[in-house]
Amino acid sequence: MDSGWITRPVCLLLIFVMAFPHLITSYSIGVGIADSTGPVAEIVFMGYAKMDQKGTGLHLRTFARSFIIDDGIERFVFVSVESAMIGHDVRSAVIAQLKKKYGDLYTDENVMISATHTHSSPGGCNLYTLFDLTTFGFIKQSFWAIINGITKSIERAHDAVVPGKIFVSLGEILNANINRSPQAYLNNPQTERDKYKYNVDKMMTQLQFVAEDSSPLGVINWFAVHPTSMNNTNRLVSSDNVGYAALLFEEHMNKNSMPGKGKFVAAFASSNLGDVSPNTQGPKCEYSGKKCSEQYTCPGKKEMCFASGPGKDMFESTSIIARKLFAEAINIWQREPTLALKGSVRVVHRYVSMPGQKGQFYNETTGQTEEVEACLPAMGYSFAAGTTDGPGSFAFEQGTTTTNPVWNAVRNFVAAPTKEDIKCHGAKPILLATGRMRLPYQWQPKIVSTHLVAIGNFLIAGVPGEFTTMSGRRMRETIASTVMESTHVKPIVVIAGLCNTYSDYIATPEEYEIQRYEGASTIFGPHTLTIYLQKYRELALAVINGSKLEPGPSPPDMTTKNLISLQTPVIYDTPRWGHDFGDCLKQPEEIVRPGQTVSAIFVSGHPRNNLMTDSSFLTVERIDNNGNWIEVATDGNWETRFYWARTSSILGTSQVEITWDIPLDVLPGKYRIRHNGYYRYILGGVFHYRGFSDIFEVQTAPES
Ligand SMILES: *[C@@H]1O[C@H](CO)[C@@H](O)[C@H](O)[C@H]1NC(C)=O
Ligand SMILES: *[C@@H]1O[C@H](CO)[C@@H](O)[C@H](O)[C@H]1NC(C)=O
Ligand SMILES: *[C@@H]1O[C@H](CO)[C@@H](O)[C@H](O)[C@H]1NC(C)=O
C-alpha cells in the first residue's frame, strides 16, 4: 500500500498549520487519570511538616490527571497531581519513563507538572533535605507512587487522543477563600491594591475539552486556594477540598463509575494560592475562641492561633469548600456560549539558576529604579512559626527538634550565613542559610524551572512555587502586557502553581518587608518576584516570536545522592491468636438507614505491603436480584474511611476499621463490606488476603 495516502493529509495539515497558525480551532486532545496514592500508614504527611502527623489510613485516594493538547506541530502535556509539591527529580523520572516508550515526544519543554498542594498525602519524595526533613528522610514508596501515577496518567491520555475543541470559561466564587496574611498584602502600594476589589483572587478559570463529536472529555479548573481544609491533626490520606471537587465533577459526568475510573477527567489545579486559605472563619484562639492578636498570637496562656471553618469540623469544611468549587465549575461548564480557543500551541521552557540573577525594581516609595539581585536560598525566622492554617509548621519548636535524627545528623554542619547573605536577604532575619547547607545534600533548589505555554490566546504560566495573590496578579499583568505589545489582543493568563520545581513561596518585595510566613519563605530574597517577572517576560517574548530558548543549566540529579531514609520497613505481620487475616472482628449493625454510619473491623496486614494502586483496600457491595455482588463504593469515595492500627508491633498484629456513611439516595437492599489486603509472612513474601463482613440490610422505608 502507498503510505503516501496516510502521510499526505498529515502533510497538508502541517502546511495549513504553519501558514495560518492563528486559524487553528481543532486540536488533538487526550485526557487520562491514574492513581498516585502513596503509603497510607506510618508515613509523615507533607505540607504542614508536622512530624507526628503520620498516616493511619485513607479517606480519599490521590490521583494524577493529565491533558494532552496538540496542534499538529507542538504537543503540550499538563498534569495536575494530588501531592503537596512536585520536585525536579519526580518530573525527570516521569520524562525518563516516557522516553523509553515514546522517544522524544515528551520532554522538559512540553511536560508541565503542577501539584495541587494537598497537605494530607505522604511525603518524603522531594529529595532536597529541607523538604524531606520532617518525613524522616526519603520515602521511596511515596516517590515512586507519584512518578508511576503521573506516568500512567500521561500514557492513558496519550492513548485517548482524539480531535476536539477547547473552550475557556470564567466564573467567580466569593465565599471560599480568605487572605491569611492580610498585613503583608496591605504593604503593597495603595494604587495597585485599588485596582482589585478583594485581597485574594475570587475568579475561577476553566479550560473545557470537548471531542469533535461533541462528547465531553474533561476540564482543567484554576481557583486560588490552599488545600488545607483538612488540618494538621488529620491522619487520613486525602486530596482535600480541590480533590473532592474533582471527584464531584467526575462523578457527575461519569455516572456509576468509581473514583478514578471514569472517562471524563476534571482537574482542580493549584494557582497563586500562596497567601490564600480555605478556612473562611478566619483565625481564632484555640481554647478561648477569642480573636488572635495582630501578629496572630494568642495572649496569655499557651494556646495556638489557627483558622478553621466554614464547617463544624475539618471534614465538613472540606466538603463545603469542595461543593462551592464544584457548583461554580459545573455552572460555567453548562453555561453557553463559551470562548473557543484558536491558534497554535507554543511551549517555552528554561531552567534558571536563581542566585545572582540581576533585575530592576521600581520602588514606589522613592520613585527610583533600583538594581536588584536574587540571593542564595535562605529561610527566615517566621517560617518556623508556620501559618494560621498550620501553626508551628516545621515543628522546629524547642524540644521537638532534637527528636529528629535527620536534623541531629545535619545540625552540626549547619552553615552560617555570610555578610553578603544577610545584606541580600534584607528584611529577612535568616534562620537557615539553606543555600550554603550541603550536608547531607542540597537543602533547597537553586536551579528552578520556568515554563510558559500558549494555546492561541490562552497562556499558562507554570511557576516553581507558591505565588501570593499579588505576585500572581503582577505575573499575569506582565505576561499579558508583553503579549499585547505585539498582538494588541488581551490574552487570558493563568498561573499554574507549584510546577516542576518546588522553591517555596514567592511574595512581592513589599509583602516581603513584613516577613509573614510567605515572605520568610521567599527563598531567593526580596526580589525573587522581580527576577521572575523579567524571566517570564522573556518567555512571553519567545512564545510570541515562536522561538526557542536555551534550556539553561541542568538541576542536580538528587537520586544519585546517598539519600537518607530512616523510615523502618514492614518486617512481618501476624494475625492475632486464633484468627486469620481478613477475619471480621466487629460486625456492622444488622439493619441500618440512610444518614447512619456502618462500621466493620478486620484482622489486617500492613497497608504498606501493597499500595492497592488503581484498586482498593475496601469495597461496599450490594447484592442484586440475580445474586451478584455489585460494587457501591471503594476506598476512594468520600463516604468511606479506612483506619489502620498496629495493635502490637512485637507480634506484628494490626486491624483496620472500615466505615461507610450511608448516602441519602442509597438503594435499599442487602449489603456487605469487603476488605482487601496483603500480609508480609515472617519467613518472607507478601501474600494477598480478603475478608467479608456479615450481610446487613439497608432500609429506606420510614420506620413504622
Ligand atoms: C482540626 O480540626 C478539628 C475538627 O475537625 C479540631 O478539633 C482541631 O482543633 C483542629 N486543629 C487545628 C490545629 O486546626
Ligand atoms: C524602597 O525604598 C525604601 C527607601 O530606601 C526602602 O526602605 C524600601 O525597603 C524599598 N522598598 C522595597 C520594596 O524594596
Ligand atoms: C525572535 O526570533 C528570531 C528568529 O528565530 C530571533 O533571532 C530573535 O532573537 C527572536 N526574538 C526574541 C525577542 O526572542
> Does 33 score more than 80 pLDDT?
yes
Q: How far apart are CA 409 and CA 396, in angstroms?
A: 15
Is residue 393 part of the annotated active site? The answer reads: no
From 114, 121, 277, 393, active-site residue: 277
Higher pLDDT, 276 or 10: 276
Residue 367 has pLDDT above 50, yes or no: yes
Average pLDDT, the chain: 91
Give the span between the Cα atoms of 557 and 399, in whole angstroms.
34
Strands 505-506 and 591-592: unpaired
- Identify which of 34, 120, 46 has the alpha carbon closest to the alpha carbon of residue 87: 46
Q: How far apart are the CA of 545 and the centre of ligand 3, in A? A: 6
Which secondary structure element, helix H or strand E, spans residue 166, and what is its range? strand 162-172
pLDDT confidence of residue 409: 47
- For the stretch 430-447, pLDDT in tens is 878 888 887 777 888 999
Cα–Cα distance measured from residue 156 to residue 64, given in angstroms and rounded to the nearest whole number: 11
Range of weakest confidence among 84-98, 182-196, 267-281, 396-410: 396-410
Q: Considering every ligand atom shown, identify the ligand nearest to the alpha carbon of residue 369 and give its number.
A: 2
pLDDT at 300: 64
What is the reported pLDDT for 406? 53
Determine the pLDDT at residue 14: 59
SS3 340: strand
- Is the pLDDT at 18 greater than 50, yes or no? yes
Full set of structural domains in the chain with CATH? 8-277+336-349+448-504+535-559 (no CATH), 353-444 (no CATH), 584-698 (2.60.40.2300)
Q: Are the C-beta atoms of residues 456 and 24 closer than 8 Å to each other?
A: yes
The ligand 2 site (C-beta within 6 Å) comprises 363, 365-366, 509-510, 513, 526
CA 476 to ligand 3 center in whole angstroms: 22
Atom of ligand 2 lying closest to residue 526 CA: 14
Q: Which three cell numbers stand for residue 496?
A: 499554574
Ligand 1 probe mutation, 304, 312, 314, most atoms within 8 A of CB: 314
* Portion of the chain with pLDDT greater than 70, in percent: 92
Q: Ligand 3: does its nearest atom lie under 6 Å from the Cβ of 541?
A: yes
- pLDDT at residue 148 in the model: 98
What average pLDDT does this structure show over 222-226?
98
Predicted confidence (pLDDT) per residue in 503-542, tens digit: 999 999 999 999 888 999 999 999 999 999 999 999 999 9
Bigger pLDDT: 505 or 558?
A: 505
Which atom of ligand 1 lies closest to the CA of 389?
A: 14
Residue 431 alpha carbon to ligand 2 centre in Å: 22
Ligand nearest to the CA of 363: 2
- Average pLDDT of span 13-24: 64
234 CA closest ligand 1 atom index: 1
pLDDT recorded at residue 609:
97
Q: Cell numbers 513589599 label which residue? A: 510
pLDDT digits (tens, 9 = 90+) for 569-584: 888 999 988 999 999 9
User: What's the whole-number mean pLDDT along residues 175-180?
Assistant: 96
Does ligand 3 come within 6 angstroms of the Cβ of 295?
no
**Mean pLDDT in residue range 190-202:** 98
Give the model confidence (pLDDT) of 583-606 as tens digits: 999 999 999 999 999 999 999 999
The values of phi and psi at residue 619, to 5°, are -140, 145
Task: Please tell me the pTM assigned to this model.
Answer: 0.94
What is the rounded average pLDDT of the residues 49-73? 94
Asked if 673 and 692 count as a contact pair (C-beta separation under 8 A), the reply is yes
